[in-house]
Structure 1
């Protein structure tokens, strides 16, 4: 079981998966409580457009995809608010167009960076020390954002109208959350993959809601569940030779099933 830890790429992969799991668990709480689980799915597809653009123009993946993802998040937020268009509709239009553009670019010009399959399903091969640093940095940023804007995030999540009446700039809080979410998806994309990021965001948060009784406890529990599924999933991924994102999500699904079954009697 410890043999894989002799390889640098595997150690980096485990670190990234664990940190990414904690990051997705933390940010996923706000997404699920707002009833916007589709947002994580949509933004992951949107960031894929940046992945393709980075491959095409041969610039750093994190730079191109990061700018692309944050820009998409801001456009979604602006479109949803300015014309009274529902957020789900704005997400559908912007993110699917971005994903389609990414596929078109990779099909026509080919990929000069990380492989197409790795972007879609995640991979532990080629995980660099830079990836560990980026995920750790985004996790620190997310924690700082939550701690410094805790009350504003809490109010806007549960009752945005009361928050606005209380003088909280709801629009700015939404933009902050969208930017943090975009960066979280960007940082975890190569490990979890475009098609599975949404599950990594939602599952730890849902499990935490079944276990935690208060919002303050919900956040660390979701982060711990995410980190645990990331660590276990990455180790299993190596031994069963299944893409890392797939294995991490399946481990999360098993955890969800066990917790759901174990807590079912308390909800009757």
Structure 2
């Protein structure tokens, strides 16, 4: 029991655990729509695209959250503009912005005197350095994400499963898509401090994908994703403490591992169900 509970008696590990729980709830609410909508590559690109804003804010002593939000907003606008180009596929536009914004962020960070330290912190986060104010920001972000998801549930659901029907019903799918992009931006911006710009995508995608085979309703998927995310946070912090590994990277790795375990278990269950079905009777 001491091996399990000992690390969480330390104050900064407790804050790390609470921040991971809040991030898991935010990412479960948002990531479910990302997975169902098929916006995985876009979400990944946006998580990398906010690096220039974070780097500029850090270099000139500004607010990192504001810098990240502005940079992610530029990324979202760029994706929208390039997506309207007839001769350019959406994936191509996202890929170009992805590489361009990431390169620009690294170039900006390279101007600082502590290039390696700053870049490592931006890319991989520092969950053990979370402050009480960060917990307050995450709580506010969770409330906002939950409210947006509840108010836009019907529009998001129609957008995910039948965009044409959403337009027919007057649900304004373009507006719903824009709001969904804003929700993804909110989740990424408020969570990057915990696991970094590179690894926040693991908590955004892996838990909902792990919960998807076990649920048929969107709210149930969100609840399952929250449980997977919180489990990854607890196990990741525990392993990083005892193994002395990077906490944020360990959390993201555990989240991805849980996805593969869930997918394997779902596959076994499906095969057992198929084997249990009676064979059709032969005609005589």
1:104-253 equivalences under 5 Å are: 104-110=107-113, 115-253=118-256
Question: Which structure 2 residue ranges, 5 or more long, are not aligned?
Answer: 272-284
Large movers: runs of 4+ above 6 Å: none
- How many Å separate the matches in 1 of 2:267 and 2:79? 37
Does structure 2 conserve the Cα–Cα contact (< 8 Å) formed by 1:152 and 1:163? Answer: yes
TM-score under structure 1 length normalisation:
0.91
1:9-28 equivalences under 5 Å are: 9-28=12-31
Does structure 2 conserve the Cα–Cα contact (< 8 Å) formed by 1:155 and 1:162? Answer: yes
How many residues end up aligned between the 2 structures?
Answer: 267
Find the residue that maps to 2:129 and give its secondary structure.
Answer: coil
- How many Å separate the matches in 1 of 2:183 and 2:114? 27
Question: Which of structures 1 and 2 has the bigger CA Rg?
Answer: 2
Does structure 2 conserve the Cα–Cα contact (< 8 Å) formed by 1:56 and 1:110? Answer: no
Q: Corresponding residue for 2:278?
A: none
- How many Å separate the matches in 1 of 2:262 and 2:174? 35
Question: Which structure 1 residue ranges, 5 or more long, are not aligned?
Answer: none
Does structure 1 conserve the Cα–Cα contact (< 8 Å) formed by 2:17 and 2:237? Answer: yes
- How many Å separate the matches in 1 of 2:93 and 2:251? 29
- CA offset at residue 43 of structure 1? 0.7
Does structure 2 conserve the Cα–Cα contact (< 8 Å) formed by 1:17 and 1:234? Answer: no
Find the residue that maps to 2:126 and give its secondary structure.
Answer: coil
Q: Corresponding residue for 2:276?
A: none
Does structure 1 conserve the Cα–Cα contact (< 8 Å) formed by 2:29 and 2:149? Answer: no
- How many Å separate the matches in 1 of 2:47 and 2:113? 20
Q: Corresponding residue for 1:58?
A: 61
- How many Å separate the matches in 1 of 2:9 and 2:230? 21
1:41-120 equivalences under 5 Å are: 41-81=44-84, 83=86, 85-110=88-113, 115-120=118-123
Find the residue that maps to 2:111 and give its secondary structure.
Answer: helix
Residue of structure 1 aligned with 2:11, choices 8, 11, 33: 8
